[in-house]
Amino acid sequence: MRTLLKTDMNLNEVRPGQNFIIKFIPEDIELRLCSLGLRVGDIVSCISRNFRGPVVLRKKNSFSQLAINHNFAQSIAVNVK
């Protein structure tokens, strides 16, 4: 069970420039994202969010960017810092 905080939202709701912590990743994409370097607890920032398109993230202390499609972004929970 994950407890929702006031600052919790889904990844597809974050705004460019916002920093947040990944709180929950659904099982079906957990391993894929883990091998791409993203897992629960990571601090990331949002680079861009496209209408019905992917959310692009950059991890703290990293140049790597990751684009996550709209549907998946909807299922990932984050906590805005």
Partner 1 sequence: MGITDKLGKKKTINVALVGNPNVGKSVIFNFLTESYVDVSNYPGTTIEVSKGMLKLSEKEAELSSYNFEIVDTPGVYSVSNLSEEELAARDFILNADIIINVISVVSLDRDLFLTKQLADMGKPMFLIFNQLDEAKRRNLSIDLENIAEHLGLEFIAASAVKKEGLKDLRKTLINFADNAKIKPGKISKAVDNFSAPYQEMVLDRATALLIAEADADLAKKNDIVLPPEALQRRKEIYEIRQSEVHSLIDDNVAILEMKWTDKLGDLILNPYLGSIIAVVVVYSFLFLFLGVFVAGNVVDALENNVFKAYYEPFVRNVVSMVFPIDASSMANLAFTKPMTAIGTLLAGDYGVLTLTITYLYALLMPLVLGFYFGLALLEDSGYLPRLAVLTDGVLSSLGMNGRAIIPLILGGGCVTMATVTTRLLSTEKERLITMVLLGLTIPCSAQLGVIQGLLTNIGGFMPWLIWGGTLMIVFIITGFVMNKLVPGDCGHFISDIPPIRIPQLDNVFQKTWTRSKIFLDEATPAFFTAAGLVASLQVTGLLQSIINFCEPLMEKVLLLPKDVTLSFILGMVRRDFGAFGLMDIPLNAAQLVTVCVVLTLFVPCIATVAVMVKEKNLKTAALIWLSSWALALGIGALLARGLLFVF
Judged by the rule CB under 8 A, the positions of this chain that interact with partner 1 are 16, 29-37, 39, 47-54, 56, 59, 61-72
Buried b (16+ CB within 10 A) or exposed e, 45-72: bbeebeeeebbbbebeeeeeebebeeeb
In whole angstroms, the minimum distance from the beta carbon of 47 to partner 1 comes to 5
Structure tokens at 54: 């992917």
Residue closer to partner 1 (CB basis): 3 or 61: 61
Residue closer to partner 1 (CB basis): 7 or 37: 37
In whole angstroms, the minimum distance from the beta carbon of 73 to partner 1 comes to 10
Task: Look up tokens 């705004």; give the residue.
Answer: 15
